[in-house]
Amino acid sequence: STPWRTSPSATRTCGASGACSACSIPAIEHVLDDLISAHAAVTRAGFVAVDLYDGCVIYDFAAQRAVLCDLDEYRPGPFTVEAERLPGSTRYMAPEEHRRGARIDEQTTVFNLGRTIRLLLDVGDDERAWRGTPAQLAVVARATREEPSERFPTMTALASAWRAARP
């Protein structure tokens, strides 16, 4: 047996020209369930997501599964930003990740996953073609509020809200 898996349908790209726009909503929702559950486990282990973006996930929508990779920036948390900003894609980053001296904690990971939900359930990079439900969009809106104190307090709370919003 080999230590790796191969899948002809796996991809690392999503967005306007990526695999996500052609996938069924249920397949995307299933993958999001896994990503949210994985990040709830990450935060329970005392870590926070840093530099999470679609390239950190290998998507296999045909098998309805995702594999996380390139998580070398995840750190024990909470911690304080010591540089001008943290590494990462601005499309996924919380406002505090751009500020020296800001606290990075579980609510930062909540924001990152909120952006992940938004970007996977939207057809294009300009975020004008939402394909999820209004309840799911409300979960995204709360998860991605600018002020961390206005977001879901934990990944477990985000996971519960996401499950409740699923059709």
* Long-range pairs for 34-37: beta carbons < 8 A, 24 or more residues apart: 34/65, 34/66, 35/66, 35/68, 35/113, 35/116, 36/113, 36/117, 36/155, 36/158, 36/159, 36/162, 37/159
Average pLDDT rounded to a whole number, residues 11-15: 50
Q: Over 50: is that where the pLDDT of 105 sits?
A: yes
The DSSP bridge pattern shows strands 79-80 and 65-68 to be unpaired
Q: Over 80: is that where the pLDDT of 64 sits?
A: no
Q: Over 90: is that where the pLDDT of 55 sits?
A: no
Which pLDDT band holds residue 15 (cuts at 50, 70, 90)? Answer: very low
User: Do 101 and 81 touch, CB atoms closer than 8 A?
Assistant: yes
- Percent of the chain predicted with pLDDT > 70: 87
Q: Taking the CB of residue 1, how many other CB atoms lie within 10 A of it?
A: 3
Helix (H) or strand (E) holding 66: strand 65-68
Q: Is the peptide bond before 3 cis (omega within 30 degrees of 0)?
A: no
User: Do 117 and 152 touch, CB atoms closer than 8 A?
Assistant: no
Tell me the average pLDDT of the chain.
87
Give the model's pLDDT for residue 18.
52
Give the model's pLDDT for residue 143.
98
Task: Determine the Cα–Cα distance for residues 26 and 45; give it in Å rounded to an integer.
Answer: 29
Give the lowest-confidence range in 57-61, 85-89, 140-144: 57-61
Give the lowest-confidence range in 9-18, 24-33, 156-165: 9-18
Give the model's pLDDT for residue 19.
54
Out of 15-24, 56-65, 133-142, the most confident range is 133-142
Which pLDDT band holds residue 98 (cuts at 50, 70, 90)? Answer: very high
User: Do 79 and 104 touch, CB atoms closer than 8 A?
Assistant: yes
**pTM tops 0.85:** yes
